[in-house]
Structure formats: C-alpha cells, structure tokens
Amino acid sequence: MNEVPETEQRCGFVAVVGAPNAGKSTLVNALVGTKVSIVSPKVQTTRFRVMGIAMVGEAQVVLVDTPGIFAPKKRLERAMVAAAWGGTNDADHICLLIDAAKGYDDESRAIVDKLKETKRQAILVLNKVDLVKRDKLLGLTAQLDAEGIFTDVFMISALKGDGIADLLAHLGKLVAPGPWMFPEDQVSDLPQRLLAAEITREKAFLALYQELPYSLHVETEKWEEKDDGSARIDQVIYVERESQKPIVLGKAGRQIKSIGAAARQELEELLERRVHLFIHIKVREDWSEKRGHYSEIGLDFDS
C-alpha cells in the first residue's frame, strides 16, 4: 500500500464517547487547544453533540464530543443518549474514554457491549491515569484489552494535558485522505450565539448545580456588534418553576451577578474583545418537555 504524502489533505470524524463525567469535554478541549465544549464536575453536563476541529499538519480531525452514555429515565436523558450513539454511528473512528480512577464500571461495560453488538472497534483512552497506581492501571488495561475491540491504548490526563500530543498525532495519521470539512482556523461547529449560551450555562451550572441540577437552560436572544468593536449580548436563563428564580438571582442579585461576571470574562477571552453581557431570568414551565427546545439544540424529541 502506498504511503500518503505528508502534504496531502486528510480529514475524518472521531467520536469521543464514554460514561458521564469521564472527561470527554475536557479531552476535546485539550485536543482542539481551546474551549469548544463546556465542562462541569456534575455528570451529564454536555446535552448535545459538539464538534471540535483539531489540525495536525495537513490532517483535520473533527472531534465529536457526545453526551455521557448512561441508562436514561427522562425524555431529555433519552435524547442525550440517542445523540451520543448517533455520534458514534456517523464517525469514522471512535475513542472510548474511561475514567481510570473509577475503573471498568457497569456504565463503561454497557458501552463496550454495545460496541461489540454493532461490530465497532475503538481506541481505548484511559483518563485520569495520574490518580491511579501503576499496578492497578496495568490490570485495568489488561481487563479492557481482553474485550477484543480496541485497536490502540492511550493513557492520558486530559486535565493536565499529559499524553494529549501523542493521541492527537495518532488521530492525525488515522484519518483518511480527503478535503477538509471546515476552514483551517475554525475550531467548532457551534454558532457563536450558541457557544455564548453554553458558556453562561456552564457558569450557572458550576454555581447552582447542587440546588438546580438540570433545571437550567440558556438562550442568546440578541447579539449586537458595537461601533467600538465590542459586542452586546443579551441572554435569558430559563428555569422551570417560579420558585427557582430567587435561587438563580441570589441574595440582592449577587448570584446572577457572579454568574454573569464569570461568563463575560470567558467570552472576552474567547472573542478577544470587550463584551457587554446582560442576563435575564424567565420561567418556561417544563422546558425539558417542549419539542421546540429539542430542535433548537439538535436533539430528537421522540428518542
């Protein structure tokens, strides 16, 4: 077989799948080199597929960050899991991310079983290896390798960046010859308005997940480019009940101000310009049961 010239363009889709909170979004952000997917210590933060675009020489690796795969109970959860499996079906290659500190738990085992059922192979990526002793790590690797579906094994710490360069180089060689799907300087398929909403949702999640674990939704209602080069962004945080509004506001409005300040700071860093961020809180009863909400973020209401 002839080797592909180094100067020839290559492109492919790589789905990053795993149990909730395995570190998928952190890994995708690390591989891309900038933030394209929100991160939270709470499970099931990623609600829909997000594509991060990484360049490796002449290779464009399109990384599909998927929601965590788990046993769903509610409509939103079923749609999230369907989106995750849809990401694997559409991808050329799959990275299965497993939290090495948790080991080979039931959620990861269910994903492996599903991959076997669909006759898909995957790259095994063991994350958080810095938290695990070597003998336990070797035992975990042998246990997973015995499943017979993994083509390669990488040991990384997505948070610290350890092993990321080797994994990215491998993915760059793995994708097939073909034209790039996105411009060279594009890092995500998310429109700016949606990315801005996701960043605010992340900050609200970090501040409020103990009180309102999954009751928040954020929309960017207006984006105005100002003459001085700055941007005015108007957003709405939706909650499901009137009683939840005071929780988001906080005493004397301190909570919402804190969320807004954190979101604005990150938006300014990402956009590299000044941002005027205005956030309002509204009640949208049972938004997680509204068909229109699902279509807005690319989820299948009927999953």
Is 92 annotated in a binding site? The answer is no
Is 57 annotated in a binding site? The answer is no
Q: How far apart are CA 13 and CA 91, in angstroms?
A: 5
Q: Quick one: tokens of 249? A: 């506001």
Residue 97, pLDDT above cutoff 90:
yes
Residue bearing the bigger pLDDT, 218 or 99 = 99
Residue 95 to residues 11, 145, 198, 284, Cα–Cα distance (Å): 16, 14, 24, 37
Cβ atoms of 50 and 15 closer than 8 Å = no
Residue bearing the bigger pLDDT, 208 or 154 = 154
Is 89 annotated in a binding site? The answer is no
Is 148 annotated in a binding site? The answer is no
Question: For 88, how many CA atoms within 13 A lie in the half-sphere containing its CB?
Answer: 26
Residue 209, pLDDT above cutoff 90:
no
Q: What percent of the chain has pLDDT over 90?
A: 49
Cβ neighbours of 123 (radius 10 Å)? 20
Residue 72, pLDDT above cutoff 70:
no
Q: How far apart are CA 39 and CA 37, in angstroms?
A: 7
Is 69 annotated in a binding site? The answer is yes
Residue 56, pLDDT above cutoff 80:
yes
Which secondary-structure segment (H or E) carries 122?
strand 122-127
Give the model's confidence band at 296: pLDDT under 50 very low, under 70 low, under 90 confident, else very high: low
Who contacts 106 (Cβ-Cβ below 8 Å, separation ≥6)? none
Integer-rounded Cα radius of gyration of the chain:
20
Give the model's confidence band at 1: pLDDT under 50 very low, under 70 low, under 90 confident, else very high: very low
Is 129 annotated in a binding site? The answer is yes
Query: Which domains are seen in the chain, by residue range?
Result: 10-177 (3.40.50.300), 192-297 (3.30.300.20)
Cβ atoms of 226 and 269 closer than 8 Å = no
Is 29 annotated in a binding site? The answer is no
Mean pLDDT, the chain, rounded, equals: 83
